[in-house]
Structures are given as structure tokens and as C-alpha cells.
Structure 1
């Protein structure tokens, strides 16, 4: 794959280091890529800045951008089959998994929804001054908020759902009138070129969308430090998110950081039988590689043994295998390093007093590929390393609570705060428990994947919001106008 970038309206051959994109199911080579050089990354940033400042896209009205963005959305949808193939080949998502909806179908559906949502947002809003501030003996004043395009957006996406995480940076930023540089994770870079192909087909102006595919960090570091970039939107680990924030600090860039999670699932006593299903819902969701998955399960202490027994039985018949096999329920994690991480935290959990109820090792008979058995850990308390650190694999921990106050206390005893879950037949009590969880999102007896519902983290889970009105406004600049007379 020589064409590994899209800069200033043209597909370019990479002049940087070559690297391999590997299929995590069998370790075969999906593609060999010549990445972009640092100079080419700089050219992409320059093109984005030039396009924004020229007004060729940013100077259009929201209605004027809507038509080409609908063409862009259609061009993306035409590539649905290719995106599904790449989700299997480079990300290792099982072809029959429900997560394929998030990989491909949900974002493609959301493209037109983003256009419609922006068109419904007012460009000008009143600031709501009280009457005595609007009218005084000297003048009458009006105070307004005006929303306009922000500037150049550096979009850095994750490997677990590569198209989806890039999509919610690229499409809202473009519709807002910004110029974008997209840099995918080197483990899953191929789907990023679909954004470029669609932009080329839809006739978006040169420089408005640029794509940097690279093996190393040079392009990403330039995107987070260059003064020509106005916002960095990053999805990934907390450790890298901190580095992104540090690199962006000298130029005070706006940041949207969707980072790690260690989400709690609290099962009320009246719904404890539902807890058994949590093991499969977490471990079999793209091998547990989801930042919002409820990997800490809290149940009443008296029910814990029965829940663990049920989880073990539920996971026993799990079909583990290549993502391309329609019968596969649990595919690989993304890399050998990620499989090692699962092993490390399983050992750490046991060393700290935990017990492996099932799984906890590499499956037999799969010599190639990065597989780890679905693993349930009996954790003595919330201080266990497997309860405090994000593992990002098919590993779930179960912890007993004395009462609901104790459950909430443990749920909030975490450096993360991305999502949370409460399950209970008593809807009023479930809501009251959910209101006490300190997290960017709380799901009570259900969840949604919607353009209209935003998500985001607190504490080490990040800054800012994605999706919803709040997520769209991240890509706009707010100016207050005070007009007297």
C-alpha cells in the first residue's frame, strides 16, 4: 500500500517508515504500508490551515455545507462492505458480533443525522440578560452568542472501533466548517483512507480533509504541538491522553479527550439474577475491547457465589476463533502486547487475593492469533489491581457489596469516570443509585447509541464531549456580542 495519505486534495505515497498491518486473528499480513514522513504531515497541517483561512469551506453557511456533506455521507455508505471487511481483518472484530453495528452500520446511519442536527442548531442565541441590564438610563444593550467554525482540527482515533471513533471527529468537524487532519492508530489505519476516498468522490475542497497514516509518532506529535492546529480530538488510553494534553498545553489548544474507563455495574438485590449475563456481554463484546464496558460487577455479598457459578456456566460453551468465522463468539485482542496485558492483570489479581473462576489463559489449539479466554475474576475488594486498572480485554471482575451505599462508594473509588451501569427492578431506587455515580454517562437498565446522546469522561477518563449537541458545539467557536445603542 503505497498510497498512505491524503494531503491537500490528493492521494500521496508515503515517504516515511514502512510498517505492517497485521490480522490479529492469524498474524497474517493485511497490508504493508509506507507511512507519511514528518514533512508530509507538516504539509497536511499547512493545507488544512490554508483551506480554513481561505474561507472556501469555513466561509459557507451551514445550509451551503449541508448538500456536499450529504454527498459525503452517501459516498461513505457506498463503502460499507469494505469497512466491514476491514473491521474483521485489521481490528479482529467477529463478523457475526453485534459490535459490527458500531464498527460500520451505526456511524453510516448517523452521518445524515449530524447534518440535520447542525441545521437545527441556532447560529445566534440570546444570552438571557435580565431586563434591568438590557435597559438603563444611558443605553439599551443586547447580548448575543454567535457560533462559528473553530479552525483546524487534529483528529486522532483508536484501534478498537477505528471507523466509529474517527467518524465522530471527522464528520461533525467538517459539518461545523472546520478543516481536519485525521491520524488513525497504526494498528488499524486502513479504514481511515475511506474518509479520504469519500471526500474525493464528494468533491470536498482541497485541504479541508487530510489523512496521515504513519508507523511512528512524528505526525501525531506535530498535530498536537503545531500552533496552526486549534483543537485536538483524541480517543485512546489515559497515558497517551496525558501526553497529548501536555503537548497541546504550550499553545493552549482546545482538547476533547475520550480516554479509558473501568465502568461499574451495580446490581440491586431485586435484579441480581441479571448479573450472570454481564460476563458474556462484556467479554464477548469485541473481546472486551471497549472503554465503556462494565468490567467491575458489584452484587450483594450473599449472592456472589451463585453469580460467579452462573457466569462460569454461561461462558463455558463460548466459541473462540478467527473473526472471519461466522460461528466465532470471541475473537482476538488486537496484539500480542494486549494479550500480555490480560495475562499480567490476571496474575496481579490473584497475587492480591483474587481467584480465577474461569478462563485466565490462552486457549488451546490456536497457535496463531492473539487470543485470551473469557475470564471471570472473583475479587475480594475494589482495591485489587484488576478492579483499579483498565485491562481492555475479555476480563471481568465480580465484587460483593454490603449494602447499596457500599456499592456506590466502591463504584466511585476509581480514577476513571467514563460510564456506569445500574440494574434494578425498582426503577425509582435504580435512578437514585445512578444519580450517585460520578461518571460522564450512567446507564440504568439499558443504554443507547445515538447521535443525540453525548458521552464523555470525568477524572482520568477525559475532557469534553462527543455526540449530542454538546459534542457538536465542541467543533465551533463561541463569540459573545454585546450591542448597545
Structure 2
């Protein structure tokens, strides 16, 4: 890690900054210390904001051509690619993710989205003629009506622990490509990989102040980044609870806020797709230990087939091997921390207190005294009011619910204050797609999945505001200006 983060310092306005407070990073697989970073002093967090403001207002980055910005950002990505092996090893250590997942689903997917975003931005119009009817143009003596997309300004990007690299790239690529200056604040649990992005920015020659990466163990810096009057926008991925606080903190200065928050996604299995349930259930917990905001942790199946599904899913979960992610035999690793392990355990107990039955799992993994391991758990849920059906647990736990008919399945799926993602499985693709259209959620996968720079994601209801990826994800980091051009008389 010494090669990808110089001296374990934070990166502020083109300089590596040392603080007085240490930030230890724990390996959730065995509770050893991965590294001890130097936390960014609060005064340096503010300097990162002020230098971002200065760099933006000076136009050193915002006024550069899109082609020039793309060239520098491509160099940043090339630098990350050159350090791929070490960066993947870092993600395995700090997040407890299996190497194959860290490499494919985090690093390679993140790089593909970032490079795709550069291409997408270059293909989009950022200044074009506004479609005002001719009679209005003549009556108003307007020769031309122009719609222009400009950068928002100074952006705060706050990322979660479960997708440190991919979530950072998903925010940084469109924000920087659009000409903004950005301060990145990663989760205190997984900060090392984000500092590798800072090293890549320095190597690529991004002007000082355009990108800073600050790290901390608490939340004082994050609060400064969401309240400071020099910040124009906050882009946050994390829990709905924290998202609500960020909305309140940003309100006094009327900042733009983009939020990708929690989820309690449903996967609906049509009667002709029940045999797919076990495999779909494994996908919920494998690799991430259920720590994904889009994880479809509510499984909806025909009521008369529920016992059959519970047996199949329990059998599949019992075959999963829980252990350190570096062990080739492991198929399910740890959750991120002791606090998260306690949360999973607490919600499993709450579920049974409210009538659920544990079909398999339901406890900390025996024989693993070090690390934060919980058995893959299948809950037989009596109804959608159970705590395990209402709240995001963020662990290797799935709940199975029965539905009467497809109308009932849609009702259950939509009966949630979340609306981030969803899945529908059925051999009759037309029927499955019709069900997907009725779900109140930001994305629905029908018999497949895709993660692309060109496909937007985001939440309905309390799962968030705005979109990431796709044209909408780029526009999120832009203001719209209308320019009227008339003849001088």
C-alpha cells in the first residue's frame, strides 16, 4: 500500500497533508489493523473546500475543453490500472470482500463505468438550440434561444464502505468531466482505496484544488462539507438515516443534493420461475455478505409454493462456506464491523419476536472467533409488516414472503418506504415486464442485470433523490442556463 498512498496521508489541494489524529483501518475478516492513516484536520477539510472554490472560480479546470478534461481523467484511470493488483488487495483487506468480487465487481466495473462516462459526456450536447416555437421567437424579437449545461461548481462526494472504489468513480467521473471541483470524503471504514485515487490524480496532473480526498474517523468533516457555504452540491451514497441529516444540513444554503440511500428491494418470482429462487437468493448474500443497497432481500413467491422455496433456499444457503475472503473455499465473507454484526443479530431477533421463523442460520458463525461473521440466514416471514421486511439489515439475511396472485405481489413489493431496486423472474417475459412497470422503484431487473455507464440508477421514495450513471447522472452535476440572443436595435 505504500506505493498507492504516499505516507498514509490525506490529499488536500495538491498536497499530502498530515494530521495529529490517527485513523486505524481494521480488516473485518480477522480484526487486525490494515493500516493507520493520518486523519485530515478539520482546518484542512475547510482548506480543501476553499481551494476547490478557488480552482473552480479561476476556471483552471472548468474552462478547459471537454477533450482536455477527458485526457487528464483517462490518465488518472490509467494510473489506477497500473496499480490494479495492489489496489484490489487493499480492497480485500479493508472491506473484507473476496478477491474476485473486489477485482471484477469493484475495480473492473468501476473503471468501465468511469471510462464509459467520459465517452458518454463527450457524445452529449452541452449547448444546443432550445425548441421555442417560431411564432414566439418572432413576437419576442429573439433571434436564438439557447440551452446551456454548465458545471454546478464545488461538489462534495461522500461514499460508503461497501463500494468504496466503484462509488467514488461513479461520482468523480461525471462530476469532474462536467468541470466541477470535488472534495471526496470516503467512509472511515474503507478510506485507503480512495486515497489511491488521490495519488492517481496527482500523477495525472489534475490542477491543485480540483480534487481533494479527506479522511476522518468521525463525522465533523462530513458535516462541514455538507454545510459550508462554498459548497454548491452534495452527492451522498449511504443510509436513509444519514441522508435525512444531510438534507437538513444542506437546506440553509439551498445546496443541490443527490442521494442514493437505503433499500429493501423485492424479488418477485412468477409461478413459472420458482425454480430460480435458490440461485437468486444466493446472489443476495454471496460476495457482499448482503451489504448492498440494491440487494433484493425480500423474496416474493406464490403462497402455495412457499414451503418448497424455503427448503430450496435453505439448502443453498447451508452449502455456502463462511470464512476469510482470502481463503479460496470461502463463498461468504464478513460484515464490515462489530457494530454491523450486532445490527444483523438484533434484526434477526426482532424478526423472530414478530412471528418469523429462522429456517437456517440466524447466528454468528461458530468456530470463527476473530472477524465479523454471521451465518447466511433464511427467514420465513409471516407478513410484510415484520421488521425484517421493513428495514434494511445490510447483512446475509433474506426473508421469504408468499403472495396470492400478481396483484398481491406488486402490492407487497410496493408496500415499503424504500424504492431503490427490484427484480422480476418469469419465463413469460411480457408478463414479467408488465409486473416490472408497476413497481415503484428506480430500477427493475427482469431475468437479468446490468451495470453500465449508460444506464441510470437511483431511488424512489426514501431511497434517494436524483440519479447516478447515464445521461441523467451527468446532468445531475450540471446547471441549466437559458440564453436569449436577439438583434441589437
**TM beyond 0.5:** yes
Which of 41, 46, 59 matches 1:42?
46
Q: What is the Cα deviation at residue 483 of structure 1?
A: 2.3
Partner residue, 2:14: 9
Deviations 1:358-389 (A, max 9, x none): 00001111000000000000001111100000
Q: What is the Cα deviation at residue 126 of structure 1?
A: 2.5
- Please identify runs of 4+ aligned residues in structure 1 that moved more than 6 A: none
Partner residue, 2:129: 126
- Structure 1 residue 157 and structure 2 residue 159: aligned? yes
Bigger mean CA deviation after superposition, 415-424 or 74-83: 74-83
Q: What is the Cα deviation at residue 217 of structure 1?
A: 1.2
Which of 196, 205, 211 matches 1:194?
196
Query: Is the contact between residue 113 and residue 170 of structure 2 (CA under 8 Å) also seen in structure 1?
Result: no
Partner residue, 2:3: none
Partner residue, 2:174: 172
- Structure 1 residue 135 and structure 2 residue 138: aligned? yes
Deviations 1:140-159 (A, max 9, x none): 44322101122111010000
Partner residue, 2:31: 27
Partner residue, 1:392: 394
Partner residue, 1:304: 306
- Change beyond 3 A, Cα 1:85–1:420: same
Partner residue, 1:263: 265
Partner residue, 1:53: 57
Secondary structure at the counterpart of residue 261 of structure 1: coil
Deviations 1:169-213 (A, max 9, x none): 112211111111000100111011111100110111111110101
The separation in 1 between residues aligned to 2:267 and 2:376, in whole angstroms, is 18
Give the unaligned 5+ runs of structure 1. none
- Structure 1 residue 80 and structure 2 residue 97: aligned? no
Which of 84, 91, 96 matches 2:95?
91
Secondary structure at the counterpart of residue 289 of structure 2: helix
Bigger mean CA deviation after superposition, 34-43 or 126-135: 126-135
Query: Is the contact between residue 25 and residue 332 of structure 1 (CA under 8 Å) also seen in structure 2?
Result: yes
Aligned length: 482
Deviations 1:223-258 (A, max 9, x none): 000010011000111111111111000001111101
TM-score normalised by L of structure 1 = 0.97
Deviations 1:270-317 (A, max 9, x none): 111111222211111410000001100000000000000011111222
Partner residue, 2:71: 67
Give the unaligned 5+ runs of structure 2. 1-5
Query: Is the contact between residue 186 and residue 213 of structure 1 (CA under 8 Å) also seen in structure 2?
Result: yes
Partner residue, 1:473: 475
The root-mean-square deviation of aligned C-alpha atoms, in Å, is: 1.3
Bigger mean CA deviation after superposition, 75-84 or 249-258: 75-84
Partner residue, 1:372: 374
The separation in 2 between residues aligned to 1:246 and 1:100, in whole angstroms, is 36
The separation in 2 between residues aligned to 1:223 and 1:288, in whole angstroms, is 29
The separation in 2 between residues aligned to 1:345 and 1:383, in whole angstroms, is 13
Secondary structure at the counterpart of residue 367 of structure 1: coil
TM-score normalised by L of structure 2 = 0.96
Partner residue, 2:291: 289
- Change beyond 3 A, Cα 1:286–1:100: farther
Secondary structure at the counterpart of residue 287 of structure 1: coil
